[in-house]
Each structure stands twice: as C-alpha cells, then as structure tokens.
Amino acid sequence: MDNIRVLVNGACGRMGREVVKAVVAQADLELVGAVDKVGQGQEIGQVCGLGDLGITVERDLAAALRNTTPTVVVDFTTPLTVMDNIKATLEAGVAAVVGTTGLTSENLEEIAELAVGMGKGIIVAPNFALGAVLMMRFAQEAARYFPDVEIIELHHDRKIDAPSGTALKTAELIAAGRVAEPGTKPAPLEKINGARGGEYLGTKIHSLRLPGLIAHQEVIFGAQGQTLTIRHDSLDRSSFMPGVILAVRKAPEIKGLVYGLDALID
C-alpha cells in the first residue's frame, strides 16, 4: 500500500510543528508539503528541529495543493481562515483533518455538504487528545444522573475563540445524555456582566485564557450533598498527536464529515 501523502497547513505554528514531527516519524505517512502565512521560503525540517527534509514552506495553499498532490491536508490555522482552507482542500479533491476550532454549526453543515459532493472525507475534531475524548464520553454518561453541570475550560492566552470547541462539544454530549432537566435557579444578579459565564444547551461555560496553560477542562456536576468533577489536562502539545495520526490514517477511507474523534475510536 502506498504511503499517505500529507500536507500540513499552519506548519510553522506550535501545533503545526508538532504535526510535522509526528508525520515524519510514521513509516506509512509521507510529508509532502508545508504551508503557513509566516515562514515562507524556510525549510520546514529546520523550523521543526529535524534537519533538512527538502520541503520549503509555501504561503499559497491552492498552489501547494497543485504542486504536492497530497492525500490528506492537516489544518491547524486560525478560525479566521479555516473555512477558506477547507473549501480549497475539498475542491482540490483532497481529504482533510481539521484541528482548527471556531467552526459554527452552519459551517459544519456547509462542510458536510461539500465533502459529500466531492466524494471526500473530512474529520473535524475539537480535541485530538484521546484523554479529552474520554472525558467528554464520561461527561455524557454522568449527565444521565447529574443534570446540573458547569464547564470550566482553560487555554493558553493566544487562543482567540471562546468557548473552546471542546467545551461546546462537551455541552452537546451532556445535553444528549440528560434524562432530566437541570434544576431551576434564581436569575443571577451579576455585579460584573458575564460573571456567570455563557450558557449553551443548558450548561454554563466559563473560559479562561492565561499564559502557562495549554488545554485543560473541568466538567463539574452537582447534586444534593455531592459533586463530581471530570478533568482533563494536556500538558504538552504532543498529547494531541496520536489522535491526529489516527485521523490522518482514517480520512482517506471515509466520505463526508466526521465531527469528533470519538467516532473513530469505537
């Protein structure tokens, strides 16, 4: 079987560099291209501390897709450009693995329709850490017994979208897992606007952005006389790489949209 040819979009970013290193380490994957808005002309192996890989960072995704003919594009860019990147990738007839967050439900519907129309697969995952996927599953199970819950998500200070995709996906799973509605609470008297967080599908979500953090989430359930806390911490970006590599291997086999890594690890 031929190797899966991988192009990394956002290759010079912190996540992109980890993806480059992870792809290069796999015998069945071949890194064929690197795209980023910064670093144009640099050797991506040198950027990632791997030595010379013979791959120069390009700025134009469409041109790179034509020049490198990848099997899969891995996108870790920004919410401001991700939809354009996805459209360019699928319209080029290439499967995609997307870790960039900030996509709306309307975006996902559009992506799903485009992927089906092109006969290609796209995997969009709010979180590629396998522990985070399990955290979300456990939260859905707990919601059957603890309908009252709030989420605290904590990320590095350069993450611009809030709440995180992981928090939104967790809230969706909690809503699907509930068999009873949360208890009625008095209307908050907020001394500072937003102090009680934002609400999504009946769950309050609180977003923290601080230097020193990477990606962390607590799901706190409350009931009479007890609380249950489910927490996941990514302490290094390498924690996301097993999930990314799993998705890269699966993407060429599917058609349409897969949202969330949990669908791949059943």
Q: Which residues are catalytic?
A: 155, 159
User: What is the DSSP code (8-state) at residue 41?
Assistant: T
Distance CA 177, CA 225 (A): 22
Contact 155, 102 (CB under 8 A): no
Identify residue 68 by its one-letter amino acid code: T
Of the candidates 81, 207, 231, 220, the one whose C-alpha atom is nearest the C-alpha of residue 153 is: 207
**Is there a contact between 131 and 173 (Cβ–Cβ < 8 Å)?**
no
The secondary element (H helix, E strand) that includes residue 175 is helix 165-177
